[in-house]
Amino acid sequence: MRRLEERVAVVTGAAHGIGRGIAERLAAEGAAVAVADIDGEAGERVAQGLAAQGARAVAVACDVTSREDVERAVGSVVDRFGGLDVLVNNAGGGRSLPEFEDLDTEDWHRQGDLTLLGAVHCVRAALPHLIASRHGGRVVTVGSINALAPFGSVPYSAYKAGLISLTQNLAARYADRGVRFNLVAPGTVGTRVWEDKPGRLEAIGRTVPLGRVGRPGDIAAAVAFLASDDAEWITGVTLPVDGGALLNAGRLFTAASGHDT
How confident is the model over 56-75, as pLDDT tens digits? 999 999 999 999 999 999 99
Mean pLDDT of 141-149: 96
Mean pLDDT of 118-131: 98
Q: Are 37 and 14 in contact (CB under 8 A)?
A: yes
pTM passes above 0.75? yes
Q: Which pLDDT tens digit goes with each residue over 5-58?
A: 999 999 999 999 999 999 999 999 999 999 999 999 999 999 999 999 999 999
DSSP 156: H
Q: State the number of CA atoms in the 13 A half-sphere of 33 facing the CB.
A: 35
Q: State the number of CA atoms in the 13 A half-sphere of 98 facing the CB.
A: 9
In this prediction, residue 245 has a pLDDT band, given cuts at 50, 70 and 90, of very high
In the prediction, which pLDDT does 254 show?
54
Q: Decide if 174 is catalytic.
A: no
256, pLDDT greater than 70: no
Compare 101 and 195 and report the one with higher pLDDT: 101
Average pLDDT, the chain: 93
Q: Are 58 and 80 in contact (CB under 8 A)?
A: yes
Q: Which pLDDT tens digit goes with each residue over 155-213?
A: 999 999 999 999 999 999 999 999 999 999 999 998 888 887 888 999 999 999 999 99
Q: Are 115 and 160 in contact (CB under 8 A)?
A: yes
Catalytic residue among 151, 156, 225, 253: 156
- Spans of all domains in the chain: 8-256
**CATH class assigned to 8-256:** alpha beta
Mean pLDDT of 224-239: 98
Instruction: Tell me whether residue 1 is exposed, middle or buried, using C-beta atoms within 10 angstroms of its C-beta: 0 to 12, 13 to 18, 19 or more.
Output: exposed
